[in-house]
Chains A and B, each alone.
Chain A
Amino acid sequence: MKALVVYPNKEALYAASTLGEYAALAVGDAELKAAEGAPVVYNVRGDPRDLGLRISAVLQLAGQYDVIIMPSLKETKTIGGYMSQKLNAPFITDVVSLRAEGGKLLVERYVFGNKATASLRANVPAVLTIAPGKFLGEPPKASTKVVELSPQSAGLFRIAGVEPKASGGVRIEEAEIIVSVGRGFKKKEDLAMAFDLAKALGGQVGCSRPIAADLKWLSEDHWVGLSGHKVRPKLYLAIGISGQPQHIAGILDSRIIAAINNDPNAPIFQYADYGVVEDLYKIVPILIRKAAELKK
């Protein structure tokens, strides 16, 4: 099968290479660099934020490829849906496994709040986005042939401004230990305890939706869950988090989940390896002290 990678990164290039021949589409210098090593790179000049450019380019190239592969991002889900409809093709997002069989694609993805896996057999052409962390091989390095392309943008909308998001400088999806906070914390200042504990354990601080989206006590890069970040640390320690389904869906890949909650009926305990029923205000200071001692 022939695959075309859009928004190239290492995982998408690797996933494409497992299917056979592949190429990449790059808009802007950063993507051109990321696509290096792909046998063919289509170089599109223009604003990297312009979604319409990629849609037009893919529609122009689609006849030559069986499958379009992209990393799972909000922008790839946007253009993926749009181009799939134009191509009359299936669009399967957040793919966790992928192989070709008898001219069709066999793919798996999580569904139902990550409570089940759907196995699908899709006709080609098909458009896919791949879940992070599931295609971790090395794409073979070829000498790259660059093909210049200047499509007319499909123009979904006009960009009138861009502001970077406030950031706590965290890459929570890469953290090995996450101390995560929820509504059990009564005031913003109390989160200092979680930061102290994270520091003592050598981890990062995550949070549930209300802390980032409603109360805005932490920036959104801390937000763990289905609409925040999906994480897969070796230890996820949930403190004062009740365990709403959307939060749980974001932590399922954690190796060990521990939870502290004063409510013995909190749903989080159903999903935890170790649950402590205790007032976080009593136990967290003790944990900070003991964890610091362990490090010595």
Chain B
Amino acid sequence: MKIAVLVKPALDTSQLRVKEGRVVIEETPLKINDIDRNAIEEAIKLKGNDKAYAISVLKWPPLQKRIQEAENLLREALAMGLDEAYLVADEGLIGSDQSATAKAIAAVINKVGADLVLAAEASIDNYTGQVPPRVAAELGWPLITYARELRVEGGKAIAKRDLEDSVETAEAQLPAVVSVTREINQPRIPTLLAIRAAMKKPVNKLTLADLGIKPDVKVELVGYKPVVIQRKRVIIKDGTPEEKADKLLQYLRQEGVI
């Protein structure tokens, strides 16, 4: 089964750079979106003798610096076991809304072919989870989101959808788009040998012009503001457990929360 996996070079939010009350996107490093690793793992399990490939779209500036950074990240995905990667890098996609992103991804899928598209339920930086549904709409394919279990049988994807209060069993005819949750599997850690082999796997770079897509901006970013939460950060570390308990309860009573 030929599988396309959406791999986002996401902002590493644990290393978010903030200077003078401003978020500095350009200096914040990228990482593979955590849950994408689960999608990659699932693709490797399901692909059989066929090919599984990554599709990445660069969303964060500065473009030139990020291309190399994203390529390095894609090597990690290839080391896990994907066969090939497609990186769409274009100024027109930086800061665009996800409609153009989905069009670019769908164009790559139409070009390379796929029986199944796997993606993460959401990415750690924006956490909107909208790209997999958008890609399904763009391709006109069935869509299953929030899969915590997935199997493919008789040309169908059968998944357990993890919803707030229930688990739904969903079936869809292939080709289909499926987004997965972190619970679906335990992503592998590549061996040194696999990391070396990944250096030889192809990373194909594409622009919007290569895909015949025109950028179109419908959302304008006014700005990012760091959320400043002033916590008191009072640390109670001296004394016996009894004394510490007294201190904590005293503080909490002063705050009027107990």
Q: Is B50 an interface residue (CB 8 A)?
A: no
Contact A156 B13, beta carbon cutoff 8 Å: no
Known contacts: A90-B97, A160-B158, A283-B244. The answer to whether A255 contacts B257 by CB under 8 A is yes
Q: Is B246 an interface residue (CB 8 A)?
A: yes
Known contacts: A213-B183, A294-B258. The answer to whether A121 contacts B219 by CB under 8 A is yes
Within 8 A of B (CB), among A44-78: 49, 73-75, 77-78
Contact B128 A93, beta carbon cutoff 8 Å: yes
A91 and B138 CA atoms in complex are apart in Å by: 15
**B220 touches which one: A117, A121, A274 (CB < 8 A)?**
A121
**B134 touches which one: A81, A110, A123, A269 (CB < 8 A)?**
A81
A88 and B217 CA atoms in complex are apart in Å by: 11
Please give the distance in Å from B39's CB to the nearest CB on chain A.
15
Known contacts: A74-B146, A81-B129, A82-B137. The answer to whether A273 contacts B181 by CB under 8 A is no
Q: Is A119 an interface residue (CB 8 A)?
A: yes
Within 8 A of B (CB), among A243-280: 245-246, 252, 255-258, 260, 264, 269-279
Please give the distance in Å from A71's CB to the nearest CB on chain B.
11
Contact A162 B242, beta carbon cutoff 8 Å: no
Question: In the complex, which residue of chain B has the Cβ closest to the Cβ of A275?
Answer: B235
Please give the distance in Å from A127's CB to the nearest CB on chain B.
9
Secondary structure of the A contact surface, majority rule: mixed
Q: Which residues of B contact A9 (CB under 8 A)?
A: none
Q: Is A193 an interface residue (CB 8 A)?
A: no
Known contacts: A80-B133, A256-B252, A290-B249. The answer to whether A119 contacts B172 by CB under 8 A is no
Please give the distance in Å from A245's CB to the nearest CB on chain B.
5
Contact B166 A234, beta carbon cutoff 8 Å: no
Q: Is B144 an interface residue (CB 8 A)?
A: yes
Contact A94 B144, beta carbon cutoff 8 Å: no
A258 and B86 CA atoms in complex are apart in Å by: 46
A257 and B252 CA atoms in complex are apart in Å by: 10
Contact B146 A275, beta carbon cutoff 8 Å: no
Please give the distance in Å from B27's CB to the nearest CB on chain A.
13
Contact B169 A162, beta carbon cutoff 8 Å: yes
Q: Is B143 an interface residue (CB 8 A)?
A: yes
Contact B166 A78, beta carbon cutoff 8 Å: no
Contact B102 A85, beta carbon cutoff 8 Å: yes
Q: Which residues of B contact A227 (CB under 8 A)?
A: 121, 181-182
Question: In the complex, which residue of chain B has the Cβ closest to the Cβ of A202?
Answer: B258
Known contacts: A112-B13, A122-B218. The answer to whether A159 contacts B137 by CB under 8 A is no
The number of residues on chain B lying at the interface, defined by a beta carbon within 8 Å of a beta carbon of chain A, is 80
Contact B145 A78, beta carbon cutoff 8 Å: yes
A37 and B192 CA atoms in complex are apart in Å by: 63
Contact B130 A91, beta carbon cutoff 8 Å: yes
Question: In the complex, which residue of chain B has the Cβ closest to the Cβ of A120?
Answer: B219
Within 8 A of A (CB), among B216-258: 216, 218-227, 229, 231-237, 241-242, 244-249, 251-253, 255, 257-258
Contact A111 B219, beta carbon cutoff 8 Å: no
Known contacts: A85-B134, A116-B227, A245-B13. The answer to whether A264 contacts B219 by CB under 8 A is no
A156 and B251 CA atoms in complex are apart in Å by: 53
Q: Is B142 an interface residue (CB 8 A)?
A: yes
Contact B229 A252, beta carbon cutoff 8 Å: yes
Question: In the complex, which residue of chain A has the Cβ closest to the Cβ of B235?
Answer: A275
Contact B225 A113, beta carbon cutoff 8 Å: no
Known contacts: A90-B219, A94-B127, A270-B233. The answer to whether A116 contacts B225 by CB under 8 A is yes
Chain B CB within 10 A, most for which of A94, A110, A235, A273: A273
Contact A120 B143, beta carbon cutoff 8 Å: no
Q: Which residues of B contact A274 (CB under 8 A)?
A: 232, 234, 236, 248, 251-252
Contact B11 A81, beta carbon cutoff 8 Å: no
A123 and B96 CA atoms in complex are apart in Å by: 13
Known contacts: A118-B224, A290-B246. The answer to whether A84 contacts B130 by CB under 8 A is yes
Within 8 A of B (CB), among A157-183: 157-165, 167, 177
Please give the distance in Å from A80's CB to the nearest CB on chain B.
7
Q: Which residues of A contact B246 (CB under 8 A)?
A: 290
Contact A290 B125, beta carbon cutoff 8 Å: no
Interface residues of B (CB under 8 A from A): 11, 13-14, 16, 23, 97-99, 102, 121-122, 124-138, 142-146, 158, 162-172, 176, 181-183, 216, 218-227, 229, 231-237, 241-242, 244-249, 251-253, 255, 257-258
A to B CB contacts below 8 Å, 24 in the list: A73-B164, A78-B143, A81-B98, A81-B130, A82-B134, A83-B137, A84-B137, A90-B219, A92-B219, A113-B125, A117-B224, A126-B218, A159-B170, A163-B167, A164-B165, A177-B257, A213-B182, A255-B255, A258-B248, A264-B237, A276-B245, A287-B249, A291-B258, A294-B253
